[in-house]
Structure 1
Amino acid sequence: MTITCGIDWAEKHHDVTLVGDDGHIIIHRRISTDAAGFTTLIALLTEHAGDPTQVPVAIETDKNLVVVGLQAAGVTVYPINPRACARYRERHSQSGGKSDPGDAFVLASILRTDQHMHRQLPQLSDGSKGLKALARQHQEAIWALHQTQSRLRSVLLEFYPQALDAFPNLSHKAAHTFLAALPSPATAQKLTIAKTITLLRRSGRGNRVGLADKIRAALTAPGIRQPAPVENALAVTVQGLIAIIVTMQASVEALEHALDEAFRVMPSARIVQNIPGLGTVLGARVLAEIGDDPTRFTTASGLRAFAGTAPITRASGKSHYVKARKVRNKRLADACHWWAFNAITRSPGARAHYDRRRAAGDYHNAALRNLANKLLGRLWWCLAHDQSWDENAAWTSLEAVPKLLAA
C-alpha cells in the first residue's frame, strides 16, 4: 500500500497525518518539535511503511528543522506553497473551516493525488546550504541597515534638519562621528572650527579646503527648534541609532567576508565569477538560490521560470496577452535584475541586446528582465556543461546557437 505523509508545522508542535492510497487516514499524531518528537515521527513512518524513505512527506516550508532531519534520514520532502494548500483545502470543504489536523490531511492528500505536479526539495550539498544561508542573511542585514538609516533620517527631519544638510549620506563614517558628538541643534551651536577639524580627522576625511567651514555653517544654521525636553529625548534617540548603525555596518562587512570565502570554495564559483556583471556578492546570491543539485533544473526554461524572468501567457477565448511573472523566487529575481543592469556596461553583447529591446519599445525594467532571461539561459548552459563564459558564443546569432540556448 502506498502511504503519503502530511505535516502541519508549528512553533511548539507538529501535526502528522498518514494517508493510504484509498484516501483514508491511517493515523494522526501530534508530536513535539524536539528530538523526541522527530524520533516519534520516524517511528510512525517505519511502523506503517516499513521503510521511512518510501513515504513522501508534504510540508508548507523548506526551512524547518524537521525538514533538515527528514532529508538527512533520506526521506523525500515536498515543500508545498501555502496558497496552493489553501486551494486544495477547498476541494475537501467549502465551509471555510480550518484545523491543524485537517491541514496535515490535506497535505498528505496532495501527494496522494498530485505528487507528480509538485517539486521535491532539492538535494543540496552542505556547502551550498551554507552559501544560501550566508547570502540571505547578508541581504537581510543590508535591508535592516537601510531601514535603520531611514529611521534616523526621519528622526533628524523631526528636529535637526541641519544635520541632513551637512551629511546627506547617513551611511558615511563622518556623519556617524559628527552625530554621535553633536546629536542635537543645541550641541551643534557650540561647534567651533577646531572641533570640526578634529571630528573630520577622526572620521578619516581630513580638513579639505573649505570643508570644515561648510560643515560648521550647515550644522549651526538657524532653524525652528523643538522644546528642550523633546530635543533632548530625540538627541538620545539619534545617538542610539548611530550606535546601532555602526554595529550593523560591521556585521554586514563580516557577513560579506564570510560570504566571499564560502562562495570561492564552491566548485561552480569559477564559472560564475567570469560572467560579466556578476561579482562576488551577486554571484554568490545567484549561485546560492540556484543550488548545486544537477537534477533541480533540467532545462533553461525551468530556471527562468524559477527566477521569474520568463513571462507568462494568459489566454482564454479571444483574450490573449503576455505579462511578467509574479510568482517567483524574489531573491533570485532581484539578483538577476542587478546582474542585467551591471552586464550592459561590461558585456558588448548584453548592451546590444538591451539596446535592441529598448528600440523595440520596451521600458528600462522590461528590457532588463528580457536581458536577464537571456543571461540565465547562458548561465544554465555553462553550469550544465561545466563550461566557462564565452562572450562570442554567448551572443552569436540565434541561427547559429543550439536550440537549447535560443529562447
Structure 2
Amino acid sequence: MLLIGDDWAEDHHDVEVQDATGRKLAAARLPEGVDGVAKFHELVAKHGGEDLEPADVIVGIETDRGPWVQALIAAGYQIYAINPRQVARFKERYGTSGAKSDKGDAHALADMVRIDRDQLRPVAGDSEQAQAIRVVARAHQTLIWERTRTFQRLRTTLREYFPAAMNAYADLTLTAPDALELLVKAPTPAAAAKLTRPQITAVLARHRRHNRSAKAATIQAALRERHLGLSEPVTAAYAATATAHARVLIALNEQIAELEGQVKAHFLAHPDAEIYLSMPGIAEITGARVLAEFGDDPTRYASAKARKNYAGTSPVTRASGKSHTVQARFVRNNRLADALQTQAFSTLRASPGARRYYDKQRAREAGYNPALRQLGNRLVGILHGCLKTRTLYDEATAWSHHAQPHAA
C-alpha cells in the first residue's frame, strides 16, 4: 500500500509518498497537467512495485474537482478530498506555531489518509451526468449570488444620490430588465424627470408588462417629485457608477436565464430526475442543485443518517460533564443547505404531511428556522429511501409514522 499526500496549487503539486508504516519514500514537486500526472504514475510505479494494485494507492488532496483529480480516479486510485480546515487542525499535532509550507501540508495529508482514513470520506464515483449537473447548477447559483451582491451595490448608490428611483421602480423591482433599461436611459434625477409617459410605456411594452399605462403614470409621477439633490459633478459621478452596476445586472440576467436552460436540460436527462421531481417542493432548479451536491454514487451514503449528516440537517450533540446540548450544524455544504431550505419551505403548501410535521415542531416551541430545518432533515431521509428503493415519492407512505392520531 502507498499513502500519498498531494498539496495542490494553481500550477504545481507537492506530493509525499509513504508506506503503510509511515516511512517517507519520496517527495516531489510535480507540474500541473499531463506531464505532472505521468510523473505521479512514475512515482507510484517506482515505489509500489509490479504487484501493487491501483486500489492500494491512497491519495489525500484538498479538492474533489478538476482534471487532475479525475485523472487519478480514472487510474483506479482511492482519492480522499479533505477539507483544508481539517488539515490545519491535524497539523496541530506536530506543533502549535501555525507554521505552513507546501511540503508540510503534503506530509500532513499523507499522514491523514494513513492514520485517519476511516474517518474521512472518499471522493464519490459520480456519473458524468451528475458531474455535468454540478458544474452548471453551481455556476447558475453563483451568478444569482453575484446578481444579489451587484443589486445591493446599485441600491446603495441610488440611496446616496437618487432615492426617487427606488420608489419609482419599486413595483418593477430594480433587478427587472425594464427597470434597469429605464435607469440606464436616465441615470440622473434631471434626466429621469424629463422621461415622457410614451417613452416609459414603450420600455414596459418591450418587456411585456401588464397595465402599462397605469404603471408608466406612477413611475413618471415618482420621478418628478421634489427631492434633495447633489452638485452636478457629484451627481454625474454617481450616475456613471449606477449605470455600470445596471449594465452588469442586465448581463447577469441574460446569462442566468441562459444557464437556467442548461441546468434544466442536464437535470431532466439524468435517470434520477423523475424521483427528485416526485418529491414535494422540488422543481427542476432545486432538484438539480440537490442532486448536484448529493451526487449519484449509490455507495456514497450507507444510510439515511449518513446522507443527513452530509446535508447538515441533522443536529450535533455536545456533551461534556453535566452539560448536554443539541445544536444545529453550521459547518456544512452551504449550497446544499440553501437548496434543502428552499424545498422545505415549499413543501409547507405542497404536502399536507409535511405541514403537519412542521406544525408539530412549532407546537413544541421550536422556532421557525429550527422547525424548517427538522422538516428538511425528514425530507432528506425520505429522499434517501426513494433513491435506495428506486420508487417515487408517496405522500401516505412518507408520513405514515407522523399521521394524526385519529387517522391511525
TM-score interval, smaller chain:
over 0.9
Q: Secondary structure at the match of 1:322?
A: strand
* Alpha-carbon separation, structure 1, partners of 2:292 and 2:27: 36
1:249 to 244, 247, 253: 253
1:397 to 381, 397, 401: 401
Question: What is the correspondence of 1:36-51 to structure 2 with a 5 Å cutoff?
Answer: 36-50=35-49, 51=52
Residue 108 of structure 2 is aligned to residue 109 of structure 1: no
TM-score by length of 1: 0.94
Q: 1:347 aligns to what?
A: 351
Contact 1:191–1:220 (CA under 8 A) maintained in structure 2: no
* Alpha-carbon separation, structure 2, partners of 1:198 and 1:346: 39
* Alpha-carbon separation, structure 2, partners of 1:102 and 1:215: 62
**193 and 360 in structure 1: CA distance in 2 versus 1, 3 angstrom threshold:** same
Q: 1:14 aligns to what?
A: 13
* Alpha-carbon separation, structure 1, partners of 2:338 and 2:93: 35
Contact 2:12–2:30 (CA under 8 A) maintained in structure 1: yes
* Alpha-carbon separation, structure 2, partners of 1:281 and 1:340: 14
Question: How far apart are 1:93 and its partner, in Å?
Answer: 2.8
Question: How far apart are 1:343 and its partner, in Å?
Answer: 0.3
* Alpha-carbon separation, structure 2, partners of 1:181 and 1:374: 50
* Alpha-carbon separation, structure 2, partners of 1:202 and 1:371: 42
Q: Secondary structure at the match of 2:373?
A: helix
365-374 vs 83-92, greater mean Cα deviation: 83-92
Q: 1:23 aligns to what?
A: 22
292-301 vs 63-72, greater mean Cα deviation: 63-72
Contact 1:201–1:207 (CA under 8 A) maintained in structure 2: no
Contact 1:197–1:206 (CA under 8 A) maintained in structure 2: no
Q: 2:319 aligns to what?
A: 315
Q: 1:92 aligns to what?
A: 94
1:191-245, Cα deviation, whole Å (9 max, x unpaired)? 2333333333334336645433221111121212221112122222222222221
* Alpha-carbon separation, structure 2, partners of 1:189 and 1:333: 45
* Alpha-carbon separation, structure 1, partners of 2:264 and 2:200: 37
Residue 282 of structure 2 is aligned to residue 283 of structure 1: no
Q: Secondary structure at the match of 2:92?
A: helix
Contact 2:313–2:376 (CA under 8 A) maintained in structure 1: yes
Residue 389 of structure 2 is aligned to residue 385 of structure 1: yes
* Alpha-carbon separation, structure 2, partners of 1:331 and 1:178: 34
Identity of paired residues, percent?
40
TM-score by length of 2: 0.94
Contact 2:205–2:212 (CA under 8 A) maintained in structure 1: no
Q: 1:33 aligns to what?
A: 32
Question: What is the correspondence of 1:62-211 to structure 2 with a 5 Å cutoff?
Answer: 62-168=64-170, 169-205=173-209, 208-211=212-215
Question: How far apart are 1:53 and its partner, in Å?
Answer: 4.1
* Alpha-carbon separation, structure 1, partners of 2:297 and 2:364: 37
Question: How far apart are 1:39 and its partner, in Å?
Answer: 1.0
**73 and 358 in structure 1: CA distance in 2 versus 1, 3 angstrom threshold:** same
Question: How far apart are 1:313 and its partner, in Å?
Answer: 0.8
Contiguous gaps of at least 5 residues in structure 1: 400-407
Q: 1:298 aligns to what?
A: 302
Contact 1:7–1:59 (CA under 8 A) maintained in structure 2: yes
Contiguous gaps of at least 5 residues in structure 2: 404-408
Contact 2:201–2:213 (CA under 8 A) maintained in structure 1: no
* Alpha-carbon separation, structure 2, partners of 1:80 and 1:262: 28
203-212 vs 253-262, greater mean Cα deviation: 203-212
Q: Secondary structure at the match of 1:294?
A: coil
Q: Secondary structure at the match of 2:325?
A: strand
